[in-house]
């Protein structure tokens, strides 16, 4: 839904006024499973990407907090650790995101994930899978910095002893995801344009060939939609991120609790 709603020059048959209308229209005209198209490639990359992400975050957060605040909770350490973890995460997830978004576009010519990968590799080269990587990082570094700082801040407010408390992890995760998602929507719109290379949008502003680079994407989005263009799909993005970050944090905190408890039991 987010990919479709962020389209800057959509096909007349793919114009939506709200998240609900978009979902209803896609299901009725393109089938029940259409909104989930390309999700398999995301799931394939998500496992290793998130494992590296949380492992790197935990290690860096502890090391930096020890240095900056002598073992206390440092918001600066949380932000830096989240930003560095993002570099590893996005290196795995960026190609998966390109494939997923191309398959989710209206009238997508790709029949399967493998067909999409082969066609993009053949026609645009390997670099196409990382064309939006710098923009992805430019978006995700502030996103993750805001996300981790907000999560840790919320934990300080509602779970100051940092016990395992599923309710506090879900609430903190959802709020952190919503705040970070809303703040970084303009960068996400630019990333979608770079990933999908919308022909109608690019030709309307006389761009031939492929659009590349965040600065060019920013200018193009402004030419096509003005200031409001940067906030296309903000509702869909917040709705998507809230359960996503809530689930990620609750699962992470659960396994962290189980593994820590097992380690303490063994020592005892």
pLDDT per position as a tens digit, 159-174: 999 899 999 999 999 9
Cβ neighbours for 32, distance < 8 A, ≥ 6 positions apart: none
Could you give phi then psi for residue 252, rounded to 5 degrees? -60, -50
Query: Do 187 and 217 contact (CB within 8 A), yes or no?
Result: no
CA distances from 2 to 106, 126, 231 (A): 12, 25, 11
pLDDT per position as a tens digit, 20-71: 676 676 566 656 545 555 566 666 667 788 788 888 898 898 888 888 877 6
Report the pLDDT value the prediction gives residue 4, as an integer from 0 to 100. 52
Tokens representing residue 229 in the block: 């263009």
Length of the chain: 268
**Which candidate, 192, 207, 238, places its Cα nearest to that of 6?**
192
Which pTM value belongs to this model?
A: 0.64
pLDDT per position as a tens digit, 67-94: 887 767 788 888 999 899 988 888 888 8
Q: Regarding predicted confidence, which is higher, 76 or 114?
A: 76
Over residues 145-160, mean pLDDT: 93
Angle subtended by helix axes 166-183 and 234-267, to nearest 10: 140
Cβ neighbours for 156, distance < 8 A, ≥ 6 positions apart: 73
Domain-wise residue ranges, the chain: 235-267
């Amino acid at each position: 839904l987010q990919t479709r709603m962020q389209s800057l020059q959509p096909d007349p048959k793919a114009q939506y006024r709200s998240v609900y209308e978009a979902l209803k229209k896609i299901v009725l005209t393109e089938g029940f499973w259409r909104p989930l198209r390309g999700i398999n490639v995301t799931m394939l990359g998500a496992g290793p990407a998130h494992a590296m992400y949380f492992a790197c975050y935990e290690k860096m957060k502890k090391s930096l907090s020890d240095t900056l605040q002598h073992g206390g909770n440092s918001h600066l350490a949380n932000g830096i650790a989240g930003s560095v973890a993002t570099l590893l995460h996005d290196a795995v997830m960026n190609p998966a995101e390109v494939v997923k978004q191309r398959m989710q576009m209206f009238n997508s010519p790709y029949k399967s994930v493998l067909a999409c990968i082969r066609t993009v590799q053949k026609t645009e080269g390997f670099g196409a899978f990382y064309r939006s990587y710098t923009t992805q990082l430019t978006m995700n570094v502030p996103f993750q910095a805001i996300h981790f700082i907000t999560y840790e801040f919320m934990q300080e407010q509602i779970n100051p002893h940092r016990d395992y408390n599923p309710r506090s992890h879900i609430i903190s995760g959802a709020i952190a995801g919503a705040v970070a998602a809303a703040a970084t929507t303009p960068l996400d719109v630019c990333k979608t344009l770079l990933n999908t290379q919308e022909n109608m949008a690019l030709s309307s502003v006389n761009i031939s060939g492929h659009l590349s680079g965040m600065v060019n994407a920013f200018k193009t989005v402004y030419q096509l939609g003005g200031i409001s263009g940067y906030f296309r799909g903000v509702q869909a993005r917040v709705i998507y991120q809230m359960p996503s970050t809530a689930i990620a944090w609750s699962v992470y905190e659960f396994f962290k609790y189980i593994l820590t408890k097992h380690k303490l039991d063994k020592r005892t």
